[in-house]
Structure 1
Amino acid sequence: MAGRTAAVAALALLLLAGCARPAAVGGPGTAAADVHDAWTSCAKAIDDPRSSAGASALELPRLPADFTPAGVVVCAMDLQTRADGGQDEVMAERHGSKVDGLTAALRLPDKPLTATACDLDLPGVAWFAMIDAGGRWVRPGIAHDDCGKLRIEVRDAVEHLELRTVATTVLAEMKSAAAAKAGCEQQWSDMVGTVTSNEPAPQEHPFDPPKSDVRLCVYTVPASEQGSAKPAGTFERGGPLPAATWTALRSAMLPAGPARPCPAHASRFALFRPAADNGGEVYVELDGCYRMLWFGPSGAALRQGSAAIADQITKAL
Structure 2
Amino acid sequence: MRSSWTVLAVALLGMALGGCGGTENGPDMADERAAAQIVDGWTSCAKEAPRAGETLSVPTEGTPLPSGREPTIGRIDAAFTPVAAVICGREIRPGRDGGQEQVATERRAEGIASLLTALRLPDEQADGEVACTAEMVIPPWLALLDDQGRWLRPHLPTDTCDRPRAEVIAALAGPQWTTVDVRIVRQMESGAAVAAGCAQQWKDMVWVETRNGTPGSAGSGNRPAAEPLRLCVYEVPASLQDGERPPGDFVYGGPLPAERQAGVLRALSNRRAVVDCATPATRFAVLRPLDESGPERYVELDGCRRFLVVPPAGGAQLGQGDDTLAALLGPV
Q: How does 1:1-317 map to 2 (within 5 A)?
A: 11-12=16-17, 28=32, 30-36=34-40, 39-46=42-49, 52-54=62-64, 60-111=73-124, 122-132=136-146, 137-143=151-157, 149-153=162-166, 156-157=169-170, 160-161=173-174, 162-203=176-217, 206-207=221-222, 211-256=226-271, 259=274, 261-277=276-292, 280-315=295-330, 317=332
Structure 2 residue identity aligned to 1:53:
T
- Alpha-carbon offset, residue 263 of structure 1: 2.8
Q: For each residue in 1:144-178, what CA deviation from the matched residue of structure 2 results, as whole angstroms up to 9, or x when unmatched? A: 5567x553447634763453433211122333343
Residues 160 and 273 of structure 1, relative CA distance in 2, 3 Å threshold:
farther
Residues 206 and 105 of structure 1, relative CA distance in 2, 3 Å threshold:
farther
Partner of 1:6: none
Structure 1 distance, partners of 2:23, 2:240, is 37
Asked if 2 retains the 8 angstrom alpha-carbon contact of 1:33 and 1:63, the reply is no
Partner of 2:6: none
Structure 1 gap segments, 5+ residues each? 1-9
Segment drifting more, 109-118 vs 259-268: 109-118
Give the secondary structure class of the aligned counterpart of 1:103. Answer: helix
- Alpha-carbon offset, residue 267 of structure 1: 1.9
Asked if 2 retains the 8 angstrom alpha-carbon contact of 1:222 and 1:267, the reply is yes
Identity rate of aligned residues, in percent? 34
Partner of 1:3: none
Structure 2 gap segments, 5+ residues each? 1-14, 25-29, 52-60
- Alpha-carbon offset, residue 65 of structure 1: 3.0
Structure 2 distance, partners of 1:27, 1:224, is 52
Asked if 2 retains the 8 angstrom alpha-carbon contact of 1:89 and 1:172, the reply is yes
Residues 129 and 181 of structure 1, relative CA distance in 2, 3 Å threshold:
same
Structure 1 distance, partners of 2:273, 2:16, is 37
TM-score, length basis structure 2: 0.71
Structure 2 residue identity aligned to 1:107:
R
Asked if 1 retains the 8 angstrom alpha-carbon contact of 2:267 and 2:325, the reply is no
Structure 1 distance, partners of 2:331, 2:225, is 17
Segment drifting more, 181-190 vs 26-35: 26-35
Structure 2 distance, partners of 1:69, 1:209, is 68
Q: How many pairs are equivalent?
A: 298
TM-score, length basis structure 1: 0.74
Structure 2 distance, partners of 1:228, 1:64, is 49
Asked if 2 retains the 8 angstrom alpha-carbon contact of 1:74 and 1:95, the reply is yes
Structure 2 distance, partners of 1:298, 1:130, is 53
Structure 2 residue identity aligned to 1:78:
E
- Alpha-carbon offset, residue 191 of structure 1: 1.3
Give the secondary structure class of the aligned counterpart of 2:86. Answer: strand
Residues 120 and 195 of structure 1, relative CA distance in 2, 3 Å threshold:
farther
Asked if 2 retains the 8 angstrom alpha-carbon contact of 1:295 and 1:301, the reply is yes
- Alpha-carbon offset, residue 284 of structure 1: 0.7
Residues 152 and 208 of structure 1, relative CA distance in 2, 3 Å threshold:
farther
- Alpha-carbon offset, residue 107 of structure 1: 1.4
Residues 47 and 187 of structure 1, relative CA distance in 2, 3 Å threshold:
closer
Segment drifting more, 169-178 vs 149-158: 149-158
Asked if 2 retains the 8 angstrom alpha-carbon contact of 1:284 and 1:291, the reply is yes
Structure 1 residue identity aligned to 2:17:
A
Asked if 2 retains the 8 angstrom alpha-carbon contact of 1:20 and 1:120, the reply is no
Structure 1 distance, partners of 2:144, 2:216, is 55
Asked if 2 retains the 8 angstrom alpha-carbon contact of 1:92 and 1:169, the reply is yes
Structure 2 distance, partners of 1:79, 1:29, is 35
